[in-house]
């Protein structure tokens, strides 16, 4: 026999000290939870009487709602129990609350809005672009989750390659985001896993070679004659600084202020992850910093003069735009620098990050320390560099075959 109860999920307390009220179904020793849709502060729940306390302004209405839904749910569960049939939690929820709309774009827009609210402007823009491309393909403005089948994805994949000229890896990124949306929708019981097209459609990924500069190429850029005081000189210095000082991302270097440098270390918050990091700056990188150090440094000013000092860092859209423009300018000059230095590789600022990582491992720094200094969330992100280093060492051993 199944049992139904109303429970306050203290195990789901959020940072505002609020938790959801769920209906709990226990059958055959299996527990299923169905959300009531009500979030409540912990001091407003009456554990003894299993109801919302009267001091809540809407306690009477909410308690009546919970009581009615509990009765409906109990009738459904016991009714099917008597007929020896069972319902999924999604089917039960649909019967009690009505079937939720399963429009893919409505869900996608709401999911992507979370990135915007969290200040992840770059991620929001990338995902919005993915959604926009799919909208263009659909044309009629809406599509249900159930209509995105494996066959549909194959046709869409072909469209991305032929019309948008997207590479295999760009298509992979688009499909990966669409797959995430399906997984999210399944997780909250909006749709059933049986309609998930990714059960049959498999993502395709083409292996790419991660580019970096070796010691000779880095030295070529360092020693290249560039007119002092020009933007090209500044961009070269920023690139070299990153190649020595932990492979910092361009966004983090652009945002470094004099208050972040204590003379030996830079202490800052990684823009991408929000984690704090402290890096001891090598002599070469200190030389570059000192090149831009004024006689009386203003702690609020940026170390590398690319962004306007009056930039509102709290305006995330304005900040993202400023960083994007500066990055494009830097990368344009780095390609010119690489050409003048007779380096045939496609050099962008991110290459400095790869360069530092491979140099660090070749110089004997352990992979866990490299991972920490690069601000990686997991060491598997760093392991790609270990493979590169291993390949370099294999090449070095070829001298014994000569």
Mean pLDDT score across all residues of the chain:
87
Q: Are residues 81 and 150 in the same domain?
A: no
Q: List, as one string, the DSSP characters of 154-172.
A: HHHHHHHHHTS---HHHHH
Residues 81 and 46 in one domain: yes
pLDDT tens sequence across 90-130:
566 666 665 555 789 989 999 999 888 888 898 999 999 99
Neighbouring CB atoms inside 10 A of 390's CB total 11
The reply to whether 83 and 119 lie within a common domain is no
Q: Which of 97, 121, 148 is the last residue of a domain?
A: 97
pLDDT in tens, 251-283: 999 999 999 999 999 999 988 878 888 999 999
CATH number of the domain bearing residue 192: 1.10.150.130
Q: Whose structure tokens read 């869900």? A: 107
> Is residue 59 located within the same domain as residue 169?
no
How far does CA 200 lie from the centroid of its chain? Answer: 26
Torsion, Cα 349 353 358 362, to 10 degrees, reads 110
* Crossing angle for the helix pair 215-223 and 231-244, to the nearest 10 degrees: 150
204-214 CB burial, b ≥16 within 10 A, e <16: eeeeeeeebbe
Domain hosting 338: range is 215-401
The DSSP bridge partners found for residue 25 are: 4, 32
In DSSP notation, 207-257 reads --PPP---HHHHHHHHH----TTSHHHHHHHHHHHHHHTTT--HHHHHT-B
Render the burial of 236-258: b for 16+ CB within 10 Å, e for the rest. bbbbbbbbbbbbbbbbbbbbbbb
> Is 210 within the bounds of a domain?
no
Domain boundary among 168, 199, 230: 199
In a domain, 125, yes or no: yes
- Mark whether 123 and 177 lie in a shared domain: yes
Cβ count near 259 (within 10 Å) = 14
Residues of the chain with pLDDT under 70: 1, 80-101, 209, 377-379, 381, 386-402
How many whole angstroms separate alpha carbon 74 and alpha carbon 65? 14
Q: What angle do CA 349, 352, 353 make, to 5 degrees?
A: 105
Residues 92, 124 share a domain: no
Q: Per the confidence metrics, is the pTM higher than 0.85?
A: no
Q: Which long-range contacts (CB under 8 A, 24 or more apart) does 168-177 make?
A: 168/204, 168/205, 168/206, 169/205, 169/206, 169/208, 171/204, 172/203, 172/204, 172/205, 172/206, 173/130, 174/130, 174/133, 174/134, 175/201, 175/203, 176/203, 177/127, 177/130
- The reported pLDDT for the residue numbered 125 is 93
- Same-domain pairing of 266 and 368: yes
- Indicate whether 321 belongs to any domain: yes
Q: CATH number of the domain that 362 lies in?
A: 1.10.443.10
Strand pairing report for 276-280 and 265-269: antiparallel
pLDDT confidence of residue 83: 43
- What is the spatial distance between Cα 402 and Cα 394, in angstroms, rounded to a whole number? 14
DSSP string, 174-198: HHHHHHHHHHHHHHTTSS-GGG-GG
Q: Which residue do the tokens 């298509």 mark?
A: 171
Is residue 80 located within the same domain as residue 153? no
Report the half-sphere exposure of 239 (CA within 13 A, side-chain side).
31
- As given in the structure block, the two tokens for residue 235 are 């961009």
Same domain, 354 and 324: yes
In a domain, 206, yes or no: no
Q: Is residue 205 part of a domain?
A: no
Cβ count near 321 (within 10 Å) = 12
What are the beta bridge partners of residue 75? none
- Residues 235 and 364 grouped into a single domain: yes
Question: Tell me, what DSSP letter sits at residue 307?
Answer: S
Query: Under a CB-based contact definition with an 8 Å cutoff, are residues 284 and 240 in contact?
Result: yes
Last residue of a domain, one of 174, 199, 224: 199
Query: Does 37 map to a domain?
Result: yes
Tell me what pLDDT residue 284 has: 95
What count of other Cβ atoms lies within 10 Å of the Cβ of residue 362? Answer: 16
Number of domains the chain is built from: 3
Q: Residue 87 falls within a domain, yes or no? A: yes
Residues 152 and 236 in one domain: no
Report the pLDDT value the prediction gives residue 397, as an integer from 0 to 100.
56
Please report whether residue 278 resides in a domain. Answer: yes
**One domain for residues 86 and 115:** no
């Amino acid at each position: 026999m199944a049992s139904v109860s109303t429970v306050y999920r203290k195990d789901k307390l959020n940072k505002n000290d609020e938790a959801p009220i769920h209906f709990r179904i226990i059958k055959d020793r299996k527990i299923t939870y169905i959300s009531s849709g009500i979030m409540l502060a912990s001091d407003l729940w009456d554990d003894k009487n299993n109801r919302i306390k009267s001091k809540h302004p809407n306690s009477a209405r909410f308690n009546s709602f919970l009581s009615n839904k509990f009765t409906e749910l109990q009738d459904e569960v016991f009714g099917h129990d008597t007929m020896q049939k069972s319902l999924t939690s999604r089917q039960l929820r649909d019967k009690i609350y009505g079937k939720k709309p399963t429009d893919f774009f409505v869900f996608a827009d709401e999911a992507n809005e979370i990135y915007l609210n969290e200040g992840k402007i770059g991620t929001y823009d990338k995902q919005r672009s993915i959604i926009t491309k799919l909208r263009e393909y659909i044309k009629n403005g809406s599509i249900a989750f159930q209509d995105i089948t494996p066959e549909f994805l194959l046709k869409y994949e072909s469209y991305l390659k032929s019309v948008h000229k997207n590479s295999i890896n760009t298509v992979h990124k688009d499909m990966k985001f669409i797959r995430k949306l399906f997984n999210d929708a399944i997780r909250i019981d909006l749709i059933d896993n049986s309609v998930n097209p990714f059960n049959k459609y498999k993502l395709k990924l083409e292996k790419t070679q991660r580019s970096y500069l070796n010691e000779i190429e880095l030295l070529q850029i360092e020693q290249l004659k560039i007119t002092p005081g020009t933007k090209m000189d500044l961009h070269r210095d920023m690139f070299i600084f990153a190649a020595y000082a932990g492979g910092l991302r361009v966004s983090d270097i652009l945002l470094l202020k004099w208050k972040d440098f204590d003379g030996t270390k830079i202490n800052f918050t990684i823009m991408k992850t929000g984690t704090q990091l402290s890096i001891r700056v090598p002599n070469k990188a200190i030389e570059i910093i000192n090149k831009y150090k004024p006689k009386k440094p203003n702690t609020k000013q940026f170390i590398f003069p690319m962004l306007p000092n009056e930039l509102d860092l709290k305006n995330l859209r304005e900040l993202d735009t400023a960083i994007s423009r500066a990055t494009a300018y830097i990368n344009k000059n780095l390609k010119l620098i690489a050409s003048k230095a007779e380096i045939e590789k496609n050099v962008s600022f991110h290459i400095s990050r790869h360069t530092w990582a491979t140099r660090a491992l070749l110089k004997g720094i352990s992979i866990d320390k490299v991972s920490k200094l690069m601000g990686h969330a997991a060491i598997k992100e760093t392991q790609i560099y270990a493979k590169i280093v291993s390949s370099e060492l294999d090449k070095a051993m070829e001298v014994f075959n000569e």
